[in-house]
Amino acid sequence: MPDMKIEMERIRREPLPRRTAADIQERVSGLMARMTLPEKIGQMFQTTHWSGIVTGPEYDTHQTLEKVRKGKIGSFQGLTDNQVIYQLQKIAVEETRLGIPLLFCLDIIHGCRTTFPTNLAMSCSWNPELVRKSISVVAAESAHSGVNLTFSPMLDLVRDPRWGRVMESNGEDACLSSAFAEAYVRGYQQDNLSGYDTVACCAKHYVGYGAVEAGREYNAVDLSERVLRNHYLPPFAAAIKAGVKMVMTSFNTLFDIPVTANEPVLRGMLRGDLKFRGVTVSDYSSSAEIKCHKIATDDETVAVKCLKAGLDVEMMSNSYINHLEAAVAKGRIPATLIEEACARILTLKYELGLFDNPYKNIYADPEQNFQNSKYRVQAFETACESAVLLKNDAVLPLGTDRKIALIGPFSDSKDVIGAWGGKADWNATVTLKEAFEDAGLPFIHERGSNVYDGLDATAATRAAAAADIVVLAVGEPGNLSGEAASRTCLDLPGVQNELFTAVLAAKKPVVVVIFSGRPLTIGDWIEKTQATLWAWQLGTESGHALCALLTGARNPSGKLTMTFPRSVGQIPLYYNFLPTGRPYMPENPTEMFRTHYVDLPNEPLFPFGFGRGYSPFVYGAMKTDKEILKPGDAVTVSVDVFNAGTYDGAETVQLYIEAECFSVARPVNELKKFAKRKIKAGHSETFTFSLDSDDFAFWNADMVFISEPGRYQIKVGPSSAELQMTVIVLSLTT
Ligand code: GLC
């Protein structure tokens, strides 16, 4: 094989023309006119290169090189080696009849080499602008390592932490997830797709995958159309409005039809209602899996049903490439649907500049683009804003006047990347112990146990007893969340509870730092200790961020975007539930004939929007500029927030509405606006929100999206469960 590295080093990177839509459409039409039907179908097939190395035919187990040569492959996913990418692109450009470049896709969802917190963690920053900046770093590193398009953002709304993929989501609320959807798309794509620091991106998994029954991975989904439209579709609508270029169909059924072959959900809702004009791609073999869903018995029918439903690109299964031509010949599917799909794929390749420079994202030495100190600073700041302080009984921040015992399996662990870690450099990841050393803190270190074994209770108790305060670092290993990682029990795994008992025996104040991909049921740990910092999986700068938060160099500002249940038995548990005919009375939690459990209160361990810092924020009286809102008008809501502490901090004020009486039952609270602002110690900031009549629209009893006349309570506060009681009743008039 020629030394590709030398050729790759010679790749030229002049600024690429920013082609207009009309110019691109003309070029696509011209190219399509020269393409055969098999070549058009070839664009609709996405696979991987199984050998994963630069090879000749002798290793090419799936004849991939030959398929590229014959124009039978349009895109690849899962390739991380730039030389392999270069080899394949060179064949496509130089050895095929029309030289159509390939598109290379990869799952880079919260970091390429510099790893940011998991997406659920980043959503706890309540700071879309921060996330947009972080994702622009992810885009730059991805664009310099062979990636043209990333399979991100994941926009599944989640209400069930048994499902391992909650760690990829933006939490349980549509309003917040929609704000982050826009931030991700703008961060990846920015405003110049043909640039050298941007990548196209893909909203996934369309739609409803986060609602798998019982939180069991790949299970069926049963949602009403109203719940789908009120809660699960809005983040995709926001991504489409922000210009996302691809949407990935989900594994699950919806209305009992697999989404990948569901015409009402794809051509009806996605293309019709949401006006998506980009490319649809199936999730990994989800097209072929409709046979397992028992709505097809053979691959030609798979191809016909999926294309008819609106699937453009088939990922990792072969029904399109093997059967579409025959299906057209038999009259089972019109060739026009292939033409439309192929045109969308070619348009994306033109928008990316791949026809002008097919090698634009391929660098001989991508490493040189990764070691960028600015990127680590961004990762550090994002990690600081993503962790959530859940409890602090005046033991934090840590001072240098108290000796610390740092204990636990996560005290010196690099397992802080989380699932879908891209090309993370685990060695570059900073552990909590390393950060304590960098900060010169007075501490002793005793691991005390591994996650699953190696418990040395005596050593743990002894270390705790020898210190003034304990920092106990525990958690859920990264491989226990992510795809195919549903859990029926959300306790801390292994011997960590025994370690906890050993540490408590020393009767010293304990700060628990918990690493996880998802909410866990750790009520006992909270009650028996003095402080809890939820560390999620914060990525490359995890240790430095946690140390800064624990010592007060940074003031915690994160707030939960997923409800924490007390027990798995409460799940699904989320803040915006319906009131029921026998509403729960918190003041009388065991009143018999009301919606409740006999063995636990309904309340979660921690509610949506909850988080603490080192500065108590005092809310003034909320004001509005009107109490009657006419259609087309807007109401201004304002509230003063005072930082009564000695630490400068940041507060996220949340504005909720509560519907009083409408044509359908409405959630007891609905987040409509939020804002995060820095507030200096001893100072006050005025938060002002504007609500217009469209903010009150919902899918009503007639399935019309409308703002019905009626009355609402408007509430502001630091979380969904701490809302000002001086609410304003707002009457919408017709
Ligand atoms: C996986 C995931 C999806 C990912 C795709 C390609 O099964 O469901 O999120 O983008 O396959 O890796």
Superfamily of domain covering 382-569: Glycoside hydrolase family 3 C-terminal domain (3.40.50.1700)
Q: What mean pLDDT is predicted for residues 464-469?
A: 98
3-state secondary structure of 85: helix
> What whole-number distance in Å separates Cα of residue 611 and Cα of residue 720?
11
User: DSSP assignment, residue 495?
Assistant: T
Query: Encoding tokens for residue 409?
Result: 């399996």
User: What's the pLDDT score for residue 730?
Assistant: 65
Task: Convert the pLDDT of each residue in 491-548 to its tens digit.
Answer: 999 999 999 999 999 999 999 999 999 999 998 999 999 999 999 999 999 999 999 9
- Residue 260: CA count within 13 A, CB half-sphere: 30
Q: What mean pLDDT is predicted for residues 427-440?
A: 97
Burial class (CB in 10 A: 0-12, 13-18, 19+), 657: buried
Q: Which residues contact 250 (CB under 8 A, 6 or more apart)?
A: 156, 204, 205, 206, 207, 208, 209, 259, 260, 283, 286
User: What's the pLDDT score for residue 51?
Assistant: 82
Ligand 1 midpoint to CA 504 (Å):
42
User: What's the pLDDT score for residue 367?
Assistant: 82
Give the DSSP H or E segment for 156: none
Query: Encoding tokens for residue 689?
Result: 């929100």
User: What's the pLDDT score for residue 187?
Assistant: 98
> What whole-number distance in Å separates Cα of residue 518 and Cα of residue 491?
11
Q: Which of 151, 168, 219 to mutate to test the pocket of ligand 1 (most atoms within 8 A of CB)?
A: 151
Residue 33 amino acid letter? A
Q: Which residues contact 584 (CB under 8 A, 6 or more apart)?
A: 594, 595, 596, 602
Question: Mean pLDDT for the chain?
Answer: 96
Q: Between β-strands 510-515 and 531-534, what pairing exists: parallel, antiparallel or unpaired? A: parallel
- Measured from the Cβ of residue 694, the count of other Cβ atoms closer than 10 Å reads 12
Q: Which CATH number fits domain 617-730: 2.40.160.150, 3.30.300.180, 2.60.40.10, 3.40.50.10300?
A: 2.60.40.10
User: What's the pLDDT score for residue 57?
Assistant: 81
Q: Which of 283, 287, 314, 316 to mutate to test the pocket of ligand 1 (most atoms within 8 A of CB)?
A: 283
Look at ligand 1, atom 7, and give the residue with the nearest C-alpha: 284
Q: Whose structure tokens read 């140390």?
A: 547
Q: What mean pLDDT is predicted for residues 296-319?
A: 98
Of 70-74, 259-263, 425-429, 717-721, give the lowest mean pLDDT range: 425-429
Ligand 1 midpoint to CA 677 (Å):
36
Query: Encoding tokens for residue 675?
Result: 């804002």
Percentage of the chain lying above the pLDDT 90 cut: 92
Report DSSP letters for 628-672, one per residue: EE-TT-EEEEEEEEEE-SSS-EEEEEEEEEEE-S-SS---S-EEE
Q: What mean pLDDT is predicted for residues 111-136?
A: 98
Task: Convert the pLDDT of each residue in 634-659 to its tens digit.
Answer: 999 999 999 999 999 999 999 999 99
pTM over 0.85? The answer is yes
pLDDT at 85 over 70: yes
Task: Convert the pLDDT of each residue in 389-403 to its tens digit.
Answer: 999 999 999 988 999
Q: Which has the closest alpha carbon to 418: 201, 212, 165? A: 165
Residues of the chain with CATH 3.40.50.1700: 382-569
Q: How far is CA 327 from CA 299, 338, 638, in A?
A: 10, 11, 61
Residues of the chain with CATH 2.60.40.10: 617-730
Measured on CA atoms in the order 410, 412, 413, 417, is the torsion positive or negative?
A: positive
Ligand 1 midpoint to CA 334 (Å):
29
Q: Whose structure tokens read 């999620």?
A: 536
User: What's the pLDDT score for residue 4?
Assistant: 87
User: What's the pLDDT score for residue 53?
Assistant: 78
Look at ligand 1, atom 3, and give the residue with the nearest C-alpha: 283
User: DSSP assignment, residue 163?
Assistant: S
Q: Which residues share a beta bridge with 649? A: 679
Query: Encoding tokens for residue 300?
Result: 């030609």
Q: Which of 199, 250, 483, 486 to mutate to test the pocket of ligand 1 (most atoms within 8 A of CB)?
A: 483
User: What's the pLDDT score for residue 301?
Assistant: 98
> What whole-number distance in Å separates Cα of residue 75 and Cα of residue 342?
12
User: What's the pLDDT score for residue 590?
Assistant: 83
Task: Convert the pLDDT of each residue in 596-640 to its tens digit.
Answer: 999 999 999 999 999 999 999 999 999 999 989 988 889 999 999
3-state secondary structure of 91: helix
pLDDT at 144 over 80: yes
Ligand 1 midpoint to CA 284 (Å):
6
pLDDT at 724 over 80: no
> What whole-number distance in Å separates Cα of residue 288 and Cα of residue 301?
10
User: What's the pLDDT score for residue 725?
Assistant: 53
User: What's the pLDDT score for residue 493?
Assistant: 98
Q: Which residues contact 437 (CB under 8 A, 6 or more apart)?
A: none
Q: Which residues share a beta bridge with 407? A: 446, 472
Ligand 1 midpoint to CA 294 (Å):
22
Q: Which has the closest alpha carbon to 389: 218, 275, 529? A: 529
Q: Which residues contact 301 (CB under 8 A, 6 or more apart)?
A: none
pLDDT band for 728, please (50, 70, 90 cuts).
low
Q: Which has the closest alpha carbon to 134: 468, 375, 481? A: 375
- Measured from the Cβ of residue 361, the count of other Cβ atoms closer than 10 Å reads 28
Q: Which has the closest alpha carbon to 446: 435, 430, 462? A: 462
pLDDT band for 55, please (50, 70, 90 cuts).
confident
Burial class (CB in 10 A: 0-12, 13-18, 19+), 570: middle
Task: Convert the pLDDT of each residue in 334-373 to its tens digit.
Answer: 999 999 999 999 999 999 999 999 999 999 988 887 868 8
> What whole-number distance in Å separates Cα of residue 221 and Cα of residue 14?
48
Q: Which residues share a beta bridge with 104? A: 76
CB of 165 within 6 A of ligand 1: the answer is: no
Look at ligand 1, atom 1, and give the residue with the nearest C-alpha: 284
Q: How far is CA 216 from CA 100, 283, 286, in A?
A: 41, 18, 17
CB of 151 within 6 A of ligand 1: the answer is: yes
> What whole-number distance in Å separates Cα of residue 76 and Cα of residue 358?
14
Look at ligand 1, atom 10, and give the residue with the nearest C-alpha: 151
pLDDT at 1 over 60: no
Q: Which has the closest alpha carbon to 131: 312, 383, 498? A: 383
CB of 696 within 6 A of ligand 1: the answer is: no
Q: What mean pLDDT is predicted for residues 571-584?
A: 96
Q: What mean pLDDT is predicted for residues 721-725?
A: 82
Residue of 107, 156, 173, 283 marked catalytic: 283
Terminal CA-CA length for the chain: 73
Ligand 1 midpoint to CA 31 (Å):
31
Which atom of ligand 1 sits closest to the CA of residue 205?
9
User: What's the pLDDT score for residue 599?
Assistant: 94
Task: Convert the pLDDT of each residue in 663-717 to its tens digit.
Answer: 999 999 999 999 999 999 999 999 999 999 899 999 999 999 999 999 999 999 9
pLDDT band for 3, please (50, 70, 90 cuts).
confident
pLDDT at 726 over 60: no
Q: Which has the closest alpha carbon to 472: 481, 480, 463? A: 463
User: What's the pLDDT score for residue 460?
Assistant: 98
Give the DSSP H or E segment for 532: strand 531-534
CB of 107 within 6 A of ligand 1: the answer is: yes
Q: Which has the closest alpha carbon to 122: 197, 176, 201, 162? A: 176
CB of 76 within 6 A of ligand 1: the answer is: no
**Whether 412 is catalytic:** no
Query: Encoding tokens for residue 580?
Result: 């029921």
Task: Convert the pLDDT of each residue in 260-305 to its tens digit.
Answer: 999 999 999 999 999 999 999 999 999 999 999 999 999 999 999 9
